[in-house]
A and B are shown apart, each in its own frame.
Chain A
Amino acid sequence: ILNVEQSPQSLHVQEGDSTNFTCSFPSSNFYALHWYRWETAKSPEALFVMTLNGDEKKKGRISATLNTKEGYSYLYIKGSQPEDSATYLCASHRNTDKLIFGTGTRLQVFP
């Protein structure tokens, strides 16, 4: 694939549910994969920068994995809370400094 694709486009879960979403990216010339969290009316906030195949990163209840050979990354949220509601963006970084973003997964967590 040449583009960065994210699925699902949107997700509604109940508070306490665990959830995950997918980012697919070009595996050729891989340099890094970025995850951002973007709340409405705020700036995108960096979550993770992942560079090595097999990388796993964790920040609180959020974690991510990376497979550079097949070109995908998963983001997991354990025990979702209403404050996790946001759009989660991934971006591919391919031997250049520009980031190519997916269109995001919009997560809504209901109390």
Chain B
Amino acid sequence: NAGVMQNPRHLVRRRGQEARLRCSPMKGHSHVYWYRQLPEEGLKFMVYLQKENIIDESGMPKERFSAEFPKEGPSILRIQQVVRGDSAAYFCASSPSQGRGEQYFGPGTRLTVT
């Protein structure tokens, strides 16, 4: 059973470009969470999605950031018009159901904005 997969692992974008980060949850998992780790900081919650629904986006910046988890295919975190402050590691986690259970993390995508 493959774990949570994220791609690309490293992404370099110039200021003003768009970044698309993909997350394929573990097989059978329908809940996806995105977290961001800024330099010298801990993991911060961004958004929680179930298939075709955003459940909680309280941690996501209001502008330029969006997330989706379509019926088919991976979850996508999209950052439009990237700025240097968006440079961070973005981690995706998945779980099989709502509740207290473990969230399984992917290896992360390291975004560098030049």
Q: Does B30 count as interface, using CB distance less than 8 angstroms?
A: no
Given the contacts A43-B3, A49-B102, A103-B41, A97 and B108 also touching, CB distance less than 8 Å:
no
Q: Which residue of A lies closest to B104 (CB)?
A: A46
**A99: B residues at CB distance < 8 A:** 33, 35, 43, 45, 103
Interface string of B20-45 (1 = CB under 8 A from A): 00000000000101010000011111
Task: Count residues of B near A (Cβ-Cβ below 8 Å).
Answer: 27
Query: A100 contacts B45, CB within 8 Å?
Result: yes
Contact of A32 among B33, B44, B58, B100 (CB under 8 A): B100
Assuming the contacts A43-B4, A51-B100, asked whether A97 and B43 have C-beta atoms less than 8 A apart, the reply is: no
**DSSP majority for the B interface?**
loop
Are A44 and B91 in contact, CB atoms less than 8 angstroms apart? yes
Q: State the CA gap A32–B102 with chains docked (Å).
A: 10
**In-complex Cβ contact of A98 among B4, B41, B48, B101 (8 A):** B48
Q: Which residues of A contact B101 (CB under 8 A)?
A: 49
The reply on B18 being an interface residue by CB < 8 A is no
* Shortest Cβ gap from B110 to chain A (Å): 10
Partner of B43, one of A46, A49, A89: A89
Q: Determine whether the beta carbon of A44 is less than 8 Å from that of B42.
A: no
Which of A43, A46, A102 is within 8 Å of B106, CB to CB?
A43
CB interface residues, A 50-66, toward B, < 8 Å: 51
Q: 18 more A-B contacts (CB under 8 A) besides A98-B45, A102-B42, A104-B42?
A: A32-B100, A34-B103, A36-B105, A43-B3, A44-B105, A46-B102, A49-B100, A51-B100, A93-B100, A97-B48, A98-B56, A98-B58, A99-B43, A100-B45, A101-B35, A101-B43, A101-B44, A103-B41
